[in-house]
A = this chain, B = another copy of it.
Amino acid sequence: MTDRVPADDPYHELREAIVGGQLHPNERLTETSLAERLGAGRTAVRAALVRLDQEGLITLERNRGARVRHISDAEALEIEEVRAALEGMLARRAASRIGASDLRSLHDVLGRMRDRVEQGDSIGYSELNATFHQRIWAAAGHPTASRIVGSLKSQAIRFQYQTALRPGRAQRSLTEHEAIFAALKAHDADAAETAMRNHLAEVLDTLRWAIESQHKTARWLPG
C-alpha cells in the first residue's frame, strides 16, 4: 500500500505530519531540514509554512523560524466553543435538507458507534464520532462553515481523545448522538440545533474535566 497522501506537495505533507502527530507542539521546524526530508526546495517549504501559519497549525515569527503551534488548554476550550456554535447552526440546516441516503448512512455510523461502546473501544468510538459529525456537515451543504469547523478540528486534534477518558462518557455521548439523529430524521430544525448544542456543551464540560484532572496528576510537565 503506497501510503495514499492527498498530494505530495510540501503543504499537504507537512499538514499530515502535524495533524497526525509526527511533529510535536513547539517543535522547531527549520526550512532546510524540512526541504531535505520532503525532497522539495526551500521555496516550496516556505510557501507551505506561510499557509500553515495562516491556518493556525504553526507559528511563524520573523527571523525566528517556524514552530508547531502549541494549543493551550484555554485555546482548546475556545475552539470547542466555536465548534459548538457552528455545528449547532449546521445541524439546524442539515435537518431541513438531509436526504434519505444521508440519513441511512448516518444511521449506519450510529450503529457502529453503539458496537464500539459495547466493546469498550474508546479509540474506535472517537473516530466514528468524528465521522458522524462530518456527515452532518456534508448534509448541511454549507461550505463556508464546514471549512472553518474542519480547520478548527485539526488545530485541536491533540484533544480529540481526551474526552473519552471520563468513565461512562461514551454511553451518554451515544445517547446524545441518538437524539441528534432523531431530530434530523424528523427534519426538526429547532430540535436538531438544540440536540447538537446540548451534546457539545457536554463535550465542553467533559473537556474541562479532562484538563482539570490532568493538571492534578501532572502539574508541571512540559506540554
Question: In chain B, what residue has the closest Cβ to A86?
Answer: B85
Q: Is A172 part of the binding interface, using a Cβ–Cβ cutoff of 8 Å?
A: no
Distance from A143 Cβ to chain B, minimum over Cβ atoms (Å) = 7
Q: Are B148 and A81 in contact (CB-based, < 8 A)?
A: no
Q: Flag if A148 contacts B148 (CB, 8 Å).
A: yes
Q: Is the CB of B85 within 8 A of A144?
A: no
- Give the distance to chain B from A178, nearest Cβ to Cβ, in Å: 24
Q: Report B-chain residues with C-beta under 8 Å of the C-beta of A55.
A: 54
Contact between A142 and B86, CB atoms less than 8 A apart: no
Residues 37-61 of A, flagged 1 when their CB comes within 8 A of B and 0 if not, give 0000000001100110111000000
In the bound complex, CA of A143 to CA of B78 (Å): 8
- Closest Cβ of chain B: how far from A136's Cβ, in Å? 15
**A residues 78-92 in Cβ contact with B at 8 Å:** 78-79, 81-82, 84-86, 88-89
A residues touching B (Cβ–Cβ < 8 Å)? 46-47, 50-51, 53-55, 75, 78-79, 81-82, 84-86, 88-89, 142-145, 148, 152
Q: A51-B54, A82-B145, A85-B88 are in contact. List 10 more A-B contacts (CB 8 A).
A: A46-B47, A47-B47, A50-B51, A50-B54, A78-B142, A82-B86, A82-B144, A82-B148, A85-B89, A144-B152
Q: Which 10 A-B residue pairs are closest in the complex by CB-CB distance?
A: A54-B54, A78-B144, A85-B89, A85-B85, A50-B50, A51-B54, A82-B145, A47-B50, A85-B86, A82-B144
